[in-house]
């Protein structure tokens, strides 16, 4: 079951996000509609919220029809499909980087792939570091992978607990503590050097 009005809104949010990211190139009035100017939220917040709402509607229906195990398999199949999209984008960026290098073009957004193609590809495929413009699909995959657990908890009656945990996670994200914890985890896993070595190429 699809909700076309919600899908339409998600499409609008995607267009707004694209214009916002490409504003320096397209210089359109649409790209100037930013949460920095008119609100406290932006298109990405709306897209993620509606995507979560849609996932709840769709996969709850699947859970009712095919059971929790069947629903989990469907979700994981979707995650696998998204990962294949992610991997395809990485190889497209690598191809574009090779073309840019061959034509001696200076493309700032492709610097990580142009300066260290193998390492960039490995960290992007392993989802262990976020490269420019490559963080949306991994984030979406993580949210989707957690959907079966959340729906199972809802079905077992843990509604209040899930809501409280969601609010606490949101508050954690607002404090900046999440960035501190992420940096500590990166340092523990030895990813900080990789991430900064990639980021430094764009300066």
pLDDT surpasses 80 at 50: yes
Global pTM reads 0.72
Q: What is the mean pLDDT of the chain?
A: 76
Distances (CA, A) of 116 to 110, 123, 131, 152: 10, 11, 12, 42
Can you tell me the distance from the alpha carbon of 115 to that of 82, in angstroms, rounded to the nearest whole number?
27
Enumerate the domain spans of the chain.
Answer: 4-202
For 3, residues 6+ apart whose C-beta sits below 8 A from its C-beta are: 54, 57
pLDDT at residue 109, as a whole number = 61
User: What is the per-residue pLDDT across 92-120, written as a single tens digit (0 to 9) for each?
Assistant: 877 877 777 667 666 666 666 666 667 67
In whole angstroms, give the CA distance from residue 5 to residue 93: 33
With H, G, I as helix, E, B as strand and everything else as coil, classify residue 106: coil
pLDDT in tens, 143-190: 899 999 999 999 999 999 999 998 988 888 778 776 777 677 666 655
């Amino acid at each position: 079951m699809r909700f076309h009005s919600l899908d339409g809104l998600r499409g609008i949010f995607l267009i707004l996000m694209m214009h916002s990211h490409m504003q320096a190139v397209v210089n359109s009035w649409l790209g100037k509609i930013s949460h920095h100017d008119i609100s406290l939220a932006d298109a990405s917040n709306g897209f993620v919220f509606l995507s979560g709402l849609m996932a709840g509607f769709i996969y709850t229906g699947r859970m009712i029809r095919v059971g929790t195990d069947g629903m989990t398999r469907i979700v994981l199949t979707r995650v696998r499909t998204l990962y294949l999209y992610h991997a395809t984008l990485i190889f497209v960026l690598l191809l574009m980087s090779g073309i840019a290098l061959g034509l001696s073009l200076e493309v700032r957004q492709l610097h990580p792939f142009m300066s260290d193609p193998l390492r960039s590809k490995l960290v992007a495929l392993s989802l262990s570091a976020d490269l420019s413009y490559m963080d949306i699909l991994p984030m979406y995959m993580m949210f989707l992978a957690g959907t079966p657990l959340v729906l199972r908890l809802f079905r077992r009656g843990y509604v209040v607990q899930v809501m409280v945990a969601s609010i606490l996670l949101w508050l954690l994200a607002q404090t900046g503590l999440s960035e501190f914890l992420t940096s500590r985890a990166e340092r523990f896993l030895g990813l900080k050097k990789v991430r900064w070595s990639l980021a430094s190429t764009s300066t």
